[in-house]
Structure 1
Amino acid sequence: MTVLLEVNDLAIGFGDAPSVVDGVNFSVNAGETLALVGESGSGKTLTCRSVLRILPDAAQLRSGSINFHGEGRSADLMSLPEKTMRNIRGDCISMIFQEPMRALSPLHRLGNQVAEVLCLHRSMGRAEAKRRVLEQFEQVGFVDPDRAWCSYPFEMSGGMRQRAMIAMAMVAKPELLIADEPTTALDVTTQAQVLGLIRRLQKETGMGVILVTHDLGVVANMAQQVVVMNKGRVMESGPATDVLGAPAHPYTAKLFAAAPMIPEVAAPARAPSHDDVILDLRNVSKTYTMRAGGWRKPVSIPACQNVDLQLERGKTLAIVGESGSGKTTCARIAMGAETPDLGGEVLFRPERNANTIPVHTMNSAERMSFQRQAQMVFQDPYSSLSPRMRIQKTLTEPMEIHGIGTASEQREKAAEMLTWVGLDASMMRRFPHAFSGGQRQRLSIARALTLDPKLLICDEPTSALDVSVQDQILSLLEDIRERANLSYLFISHDLAVVARIADEVAVMRAGVIVEQAAPDTLFYNPQHPYTKALIAAQPEPDISRPIDLDLVARGAGSPRLWPEAYRFEGIEAPALRELEPGHKVRCHA
């Protein structure tokens, strides 16, 4: 194979401190995928950013060379003039960034941002660029590409923004694609489709891929070569069959041991009792009105429809489904941040024998009390943490608002929470930008725990975490739930995580719950075609068990193509019926 990129003896540092990336060597061949694997903060993203020379201003490239051998050119990227590098970025080498909300402009529509790549690097007219972008939007899983073209980033969910970021990186068909956690915010069905799209584009164009990921299942399905990094150094590298099949370094073996998987043996099925419900969503629907532009009438977009969910005290109710299915909308309604449509209500019961409190008709005193008892961990830690506030202030501010403890007690509590989530108390003087994506997610979890809440609503709390830290966080959440009788409304697209932590699972698609049961029933006796697609799309860290893309496409496709018992068109879905105690499926009688 032709070598496309060579990284030799790369060292990157800051100030007088030792190098944070030291002696890194690897090469990528045309048409090949190389996976960079390691914990958050191991130097994976810095290494990739050095290829495009988009490192922070304070970073120092201390040694090494980065040689790119594209069509008709061969150059050391570290010595090229900046003007030449601008021509290479987005054209010959593209990058999918980990945090799309930070990478996308909030002032421009998604379609214009993606089309800009074609206008700059392909001198394409607006009409042709729009046609190509709409095709790319459809390929990365947008159900309505025209709506995505007209939308701003803040109007889309985290997964939808990530799809736009992927489309932007791939629309010009680059020679080398650097994908930094490209599927972190995506549901497993869209992830499978995007991975299939990348593989297809590789076959068509000979594109090389550097895949930065903590998901060993994605590595097993995509990579031919694997480089394992820890603390800026390469621990192990080689063909994927060797590294995944028989890891030689103890650090690699530790990563595999921490990888969550759906258990192969089912426990006895159990139906939730719902005797002591802390949170009750009744007939909750939410419709948004979207601007149509010009003189056209605004368009109504149903986000969720007729959702009925009951969360038992001390238990975990998980909501899974594709991006844009209405999961986060349900969470925001449960928190009181969104108002449901007429006829829907959310009831909160603070204690077992206490009266229920309607969340959306609280007075100011009741709302203050509710906000202390119910906290939320947001999906995007970068946008939920103030960039101008030090971590100490971020963690102590909730306690100050609710008048809890003295200043010294608040600092002690903040330090304790940092320790709980695997960070050091000495980090409290830093700002959020000084942390990696996974570390920022841990900070969000620490902030939510400072008030000792009774209800924690977790919106993809582990999606940005590497497998070893993810294992720590899940163990922490399980421990807190047992010790403090905490209740979780847990939103995730990772079925292995859900199988571990959930007591009951609701599967959502297109705003409706299509199946609901305990995980022991759902994962071993799924009935709905979409649930079957979710399970089939879950990547496993086993190179001999690739994702069945055909099965995923059938279940995740149009409801009109499902088996007759589950088929429907538009929003006229069949009723949710109980097939057996605790197991509900949306199907025709």
Structure 2
Amino acid sequence: MTPLLEIDTLTIGFGAAPPVVDGVSFSVMPGKTLALVGESGSGKTLTCRSVLRILPEAAQLRSGSVHFAGTAAPVNLLGLSEREMRRIRGDRISMIFQEPMRSLSPLHRLGNQVAEVLRLHRDMGRAEAKRTVLEKFERVGFADPERAWRSYPFEMSGGMRQRAMIAMAMVAKPELLIADEPTTALDVTTQAQVLGLINTLRSETGMAVILVTHDLGVVANMADDVVVMNKGRVVESGSAAEVLSAPAHGYTAKLFAAAPMIPEVAKPSRALPHDDVILDLKNVTKTFTMRAGGWRKPTLVTACRDVNLQVSRGKTLAVVGESGSGKTTCARVALGAERPDPGGEVLFYADTGDAPLPVHGMSAAERSRFQRQAQMVFQDPYSSLSPRMRVQDALTEPMEIHGIGTRADRRDKAAEMLRWVGLNPDMMARFPHAFSGGQRQRLSIARALTLDPKLLICDEPTSALDVSVQDQILNLLEEIRDRAALSYLFISHDLAVVARIADEVAVMRAGVIVEQAPPRTLFYNPQHPYTKALIAAQPEPDINRPIDLELVARGAGAPTGWPEMFRFDGITAPMLREIEPGHLVRCHA
């Protein structure tokens, strides 16, 4: 059989430096999925971008060819004119990009951006295009496709924007889909459904897929063939069954060793005592008013409802849930960045035995002290670090604002924090763009630590990192927690990460906590159908243990389809009940 795409000795470089993609060769067969695996900086994305000829301006295509067969005559994509390439991009070959906020226009509604593909390549009318897009929005997991159609990218969460990118790439039913880390920002239930959707479309249309990923669990569930890249070269390739069952190269084995997995637990652990609390969220509800556009009446959206959480001193409370479940809203309320609806309050206890400090009723002096003691590590370090500030300025700025120390003291503290997070103080003269994603996340952690906080709120700190860097960041967070006696409120959608770092886990769905327990209890004895779906959706790097999509769909579906004990309609959810010591489940009595 003739390959659909054949890349032969592709070499790409920048300036006079050694090539960053060095003699890469592989082929993709029609209707098959090839997984391109490797860490950040291994050359995976540049290789894929060369197929569509959307490389950075400074990149040099030094040698090689990219032949595409498809339904038309075979062509060398590197030799086509720009006009001919425009007919192929988005129609015969589509690409899902890793960072949707950079790829989507902030000035246009999501629905119009996705429909543009159909109007350009299928000459489809507006009404038919809208109907097709709404169907695709529903298939990629939008609970309200009409609202998604009307929304701008900045009004949606990271996971929601990624769903829109996936819909845009798939709406024209391309012959080849290049998916560059398509599920990195998605929660595991949506990831499982999107992977199932890609597989379904592949079988329906016969399209081929190049899946760029660092997640070997995703590879095990999706790939027919695997190509492993390291430092611009192919170090191993073969069928998925061969590579996953017996990796021959040391680098591939290293990736396996770093892959996070939910541990198999023999018995549940005891409940965590809440006798020394540093942060207490009581009956927190937060409602936002969303503009509807035009003359339509604004709509009210309840991001979280009646949330009660306690972070024990020196421990880690993890909040897990899908994109849009209200996790980040809870974190913002906890830090005082958002005010809860009347009836809710957040209390902070600086030291054991201190009187509680109401986070939303503080004086200016109290707020300044609180901001020193509670810091946040954001999901996207590239956005949270100013591109115009050198590392030294970014790290010393918080101390300067709070009037801590002399200029030399602040510089010494910044250098110490860099050493804490495993970076060299000599890097302080650099700008953030000179660092890798994992290094930038380390810088964000170092910046949060410069004020010697007592509470650290981590919002998806490892979601965009490859497995080996993620492993390093988790090691770092655990070491810092123990060294500085920190307390963590850790927000994530990855249960394997949570199983490793958390002392207690709260599972959120649609703004409410549905189950809460220590991780070993939660993973050994899950009760709620949504928790079971989260566990079932966690991909494992084992080709013989595929994701159970039926179980995932049942638990992640509408509450009206859950078993009678957990079922509800509208917002009348049952109460959280303690079914065993420290194990809370939202269910009917």
Q: TM-score, structure 1 length as denominator? A: 0.97
Name the CA shift for 1:424/1:149 in 2 (closer, same or farther; >3 Å): farther
The answer on 1:155 being equivalent to 2:149 is no
* 1:197 corresponds to: 197
Q: Aligned partners of 1:297, 1:583: CA distance in 2, in Å?
A: 42
Conserved in 1, the CA contact under 8 Å of 2:267 and 2:524? no
How far off its partner does 1:436 sit? 4.3
* 1:502 corresponds to: 502
* 1:46 corresponds to: 46
Give runs of aligned pairs for residues 383-402 of structure 1, distance below 5 A.
Answer: 383-402=383-402
Conserved in 2, the CA contact under 8 Å of 1:158 and 1:379? no
Name the CA shift for 1:169/1:437 in 2 (closer, same or farther; >3 Å): farther
* 1:221 corresponds to: 221
Conserved in 2, the CA contact under 8 Å of 1:316 and 1:502? yes
Amino acid at match of 1:130: K
* 2:363 corresponds to: 363
Amino acid at match of 1:175: E
Percent of aligned pairs with the same amino acid: 80
Conserved in 1, the CA contact under 8 Å of 2:268 and 2:525? no
* 2:455 corresponds to: 455
Give the stretch that moved more between structures: 147-156 or 417-426. 417-426
Name the CA shift for 1:21/1:384 in 2 (closer, same or farther; >3 Å): same
* 1:274 corresponds to: 274
Conserved in 1, the CA contact under 8 Å of 2:42 and 2:231? yes
The answer on 1:541 being equivalent to 2:571 is no
Cα deviation digits, residues 215-270 of structure 1 (max 9, x gap): 11101101111111111122211111111100111111111111111111245411
How far off its partner does 1:323 sit? 0.9
Q: Aligned partners of 1:82, 1:282: CA distance in 2, in Å?
A: 59
How far off its partner does 1:372 sit? 1.8
* 2:239 corresponds to: 239
Unaligned runs of 5+ in 1: none
* 1:80 corresponds to: 80
Q: Aligned partners of 2:230, 2:424: CA distance in 1, in Å?
A: 18
Q: Aligned partners of 1:420, 1:103: CA distance in 2, in Å?
A: 35
Name the CA shift for 1:130/1:364 in 2 (closer, same or farther; >3 Å): same
Give the stretch that moved more between structures: 51-60 or 195-204. 51-60
Give runs of aligned pairs for residues 304-323 of structure 1, distance below 5 A.
Answer: 304-323=304-323
Cα deviation digits, residues 83-119 of structure 1 (max 9, x gap): 2222221111111111111111111111111111111
Conserved in 1, the CA contact under 8 Å of 2:265 and 2:520? no
* 1:57 corresponds to: 57
Q: What secondary structure, in the 3-state scheme, does the structure 1 residue paired with 2:310 have?
A: strand
Give the stretch that moved more between structures: 444-453 or 531-540. 444-453
* 2:5 corresponds to: 5
Cα deviation digits, residues 325-351 of structure 1 (max 9, x gap): 111111111111111111111111111
Conserved in 1, the CA contact under 8 Å of 2:265 and 2:523? no
Give runs of aligned pairs for residues 14-413 of structure 1, distance below 5 A.
Answer: 14-266=14-266, 268-413=268-413
Q: What secondary structure, in the 3-state scheme, does the structure 2 residue paired with 1:523 have?
A: helix
Name the CA shift for 1:138/1:79 in 2 (closer, same or farther; >3 Å): same
The answer on 1:581 being equivalent to 2:581 is yes
Q: Aligned partners of 2:69, 2:400: CA distance in 1, in Å?
A: 56
Q: Aligned partners of 1:459, 1:393: CA distance in 2, in Å?
A: 23
How far off its partner does 1:392 sit? 3.5
Q: TM-score, structure 2 length as denominator? A: 0.97
How far off its partner does 1:427 sit? 4.5
Conserved in 2, the CA contact under 8 Å of 1:441 and 1:464? no
Give the stretch that moved more between structures: 307-316 or 36-45. 36-45
Amino acid at match of 2:535: I
Name the CA shift for 1:120/1:216 in 2 (closer, same or farther; >3 Å): same
Q: Aligned partners of 1:361, 1:354: CA distance in 2, in Å?
A: 17
C-alpha RMSD of matched pairs (Å): 1.7
How far off its partner does 1:481 sit? 0.7
Give the stretch that moved more between structures: 11-20 or 199-208. 11-20
Q: Aligned partners of 2:482, 2:37: CA distance in 1, in Å?
A: 32
Q: Aligned partners of 2:516, 2:171: CA distance in 1, in Å?
A: 38
How far off its partner does 1:484 sit? 0.7
Amino acid at match of 2:219: V
Amino acid at match of 2:217: G
Q: Aligned partners of 1:529, 1:195: CA distance in 2, in Å?
A: 21
How far off its partner does 1:405 sit? 4.0
* 2:472 corresponds to: 472
Cα deviation digits, residues 52-82 of structure 1 (max 9, x gap): 2222222222222112222113222222212
Name the CA shift for 1:58/1:280 in 2 (closer, same or farther; >3 Å): same
Conserved in 1, the CA contact under 8 Å of 2:268 and 2:524? no
How far off its partner does 1:308 sit? 0.1
Name the CA shift for 1:452/1:12 in 2 (closer, same or farther; >3 Å): farther
Give the stretch that moved more between structures: 35-44 or 310-319. 35-44
Conserved in 2, the CA contact under 8 Å of 1:3 and 1:27? yes
Amino acid at match of 2:460: E
Q: Aligned partners of 1:77, 1:311: CA distance in 2, in Å?
A: 55
Unaligned runs of 5+ in 2: none
Amino acid at match of 1:282: K
Q: Aligned partners of 2:203, 2:491: CA distance in 1, in Å?
A: 35
The answer on 1:511 being equivalent to 2:511 is yes
Q: Aligned partners of 1:268, 1:472: CA distance in 2, in Å?
A: 27
Q: Aligned partners of 2:422, 2:78: CA distance in 1, in Å?
A: 36
Q: Aligned partners of 2:294, 2:337: CA distance in 1, in Å?
A: 30
Q: Aligned partners of 1:546, 1:564: CA distance in 2, in Å?
A: 28
How far off its partner does 1:561 sit? 0.7
How far off its partner does 1:411 sit? 4.1
Cα deviation digits, residues 512-541 of structure 1 (max 9, x gap): 000000111100101111111111111001
* 2:445 corresponds to: 445
Q: Aligned partners of 1:500, 1:462: CA distance in 2, in Å?
A: 13
Amino acid at match of 2:311: L
Q: Aligned partners of 1:31, 1:419: CA distance in 2, in Å?
A: 49
Q: Aligned partners of 2:374, 2:408: CA distance in 1, in Å?
A: 24
How far off its partner does 1:432 sit? 3.5
